[in-house]
Amino acid sequence: MTELRANSVWPALVPLAAHNDPGTQIVAASGTRLTFGDGTESLCGTSGLWNVNLGYGNEHIAEAVHEAMLRASYVSLFRYWSEDIEAAAAQLRDAAGPGRYARVLFTTSGGSANDAVMKLARHFAILDGQPARKTIVGLTGSYHGLTYGAHALSGDDLGQPLYGVDSRQIRHVTPNDLDELERLLSATGDRVAAVIVEPVLGSGAFPLNDEYVERLCALRDHHGFLLVADEVATGFGRTGQMFASESWPGSPDLLIASKGLTNGTQAAAAILVAERVTERFRGSESVFVHAETQAGTPVVGAAISATIDEFERSSVVDQARHLGRTLDAELDAIRAEYPSVLETRGLGNFRAVALADREGEPQREPTVLAGVRHSIRRAGAIVHPGPDGFQLVPALTYTDDDVQTLFAAVRAGLEEYDDALRG
């Protein structure tokens, strides 16, 4: 195999100097396996970037995309629409629960969808006769993307001051802390346009508890802000339901889907919009000013429809529930086996393993955590970093053999880490 050096592409979230390793060049991806430029093969324990829920190379989705490319390779949503994107929007509404949502907006990423949602919430407030509602509330430790607005909304420290990100109309509160949330809303609830939450926070797989969600829904009804479920990561079966917010006591006013939306085949996101919002725009004939050149093309629509078809044909959500129970058992076992495992977190197939340092505190040293991931990689599996350990986000189509391979590699990594702590 000829070695290709990465001298032209600018990689994401790694130093340029670290990007010429052929062990980071993926030359093939099939099912749940990745093949690298150095000839090695690994099990993917991350579903790509949490988006390839059905595994790589799904033939039904590929065929649907191919057909749409030949029939109508591009139709803009700027004043036009295609049958493919209308069909996809209708299927999405049904998949999220008939009657919950009235319309679907399309963007090209979870970050741009969060930007659009913040604009939409402020526009809605003006149409609702409450122009003072400008504030957007998010959660500390959240991740909503790195476009300009989403970067401000993200509650992790991601260099916002370095880039001059404007956070003046953003507030963050601690997840699952009802007192803090209620204090903020008591003081400024009439100026809050939206509260945007991930059902499971992407940076660390911290789930919102039932009490918090129930109170959040009640506070929405009391104060009048829009409640947004950012299901970029948790949508499409990731937590054992098609969407995690299905079990909420009140439906979100807006729901964002992206990662699993096309099984990673297209740059696409969707915002499902409740009737409460659409009726204001319909009644006023006001135009929402957000549009993206590549959003909602026929090819995107075909990929979304084919992905939903595959979920239904193969009962993928049922598979996801079974896999989630298997992960429960495996994670319980490693927590009992390895003293370095501080805790395991998450829901369904969106999980994290938190590690302890020598003093029994959460391990926060990036180089140490990277070493654990490299050990797991050497043992045959790819995992993503977490703030104090690593994350396990497998494809929902994992076999029993895949699970055994994943946890054999995890155990190898934990053994090396435990040995280092003892040394």
Specify if 35 maps to a domain: no
Which residues, in sequence order, are CB contacts of 207 under 8 Å at separation 6+?
199, 200, 201, 345, 346, 347
222 and 322 share a domain? no
Q: Is residue 8 part of a domain?
A: no
Q: Do 300 and 321 belong together in one domain? A: no
Q: Considering Cα of 319, then 325, then 329, then 331, what sign does the dihedral take?
A: positive
309-358 residue pLDDT tens = 999 999 999 999 999 999 999 999 999 999 999 999 999 999 999 999 99
Q: Residue 176: is its pLDDT beyond 50? A: yes
Mean pLDDT of the chain: 96
CB 147 within 8 A of CB 112: yes
249 with 366, same domain? no
- DSSP 8-state code for residue 362: B
Q: Same domain, yes or no, for 123 and 173?
A: yes
Q: Please indicate, yes or no, whether residues 201 and 239 belong to a single structural domain of this protein.
A: yes
- Nearest CA to 368 among 403, 330, 414? 414
Same domain, 246 and 383: no
| pLDDT interval class at 117 (50, 70, 90) | very high
Same domain (yes/no): 239, 375: no
Would you say residue 243 lies in a domain? yes
pLDDT band with cut points at 50, 70 and 90 for residue 365: very high
Judge if 287 and 323 occupy the same domain: no
| 5 pLDDT above the threshold of 70 | no
In this structure, are 157 and 288 located in the same domain?
A: yes
- Report the CATH number that the domain containing residue 100 is assigned in CATH: 3.40.640.10
Report yes or no on 37 lying in a domain.
no
Is residue 4 scored above 70 in pLDDT?
Answer: no
| Same domain, yes or no: 289 and 359 | no
Sign of the CA dihedral with 3 first, then 59, 409, and 355 last = positive
On whether both 254 and 390 belong to a single domain, the answer is no
For the stretch 279-304, pLDDT in tens is 999 988 899 999 999 999 999 999 99
- Of 263, 296, 313, the position where a domain reaches its end is 313
Cα–Cα distance for residue pair 376/383, rounded to 1 Å: 8
158 within domain boundaries: yes
228/270 same-domain check: yes
- Residue ending a domain, among 272, 291, 313, is 313
Overall number of domains in the chain? 2
Mean pLDDT across 375-401: 97
Domain that holds residue 356: 316-422
Of 313, 340, 364, the residue at which a domain comes to its end is 313
Please return the burial class of 2, using the count of CB atoms within 10 Å of its CB with bins 0-12, 13-18 and 19+. exposed
Q: Tell me whether residue 149 is in a domain.
A: yes
Query: To the nearest whole percent, how much of the chain has pLDDT over 90?
Result: 92
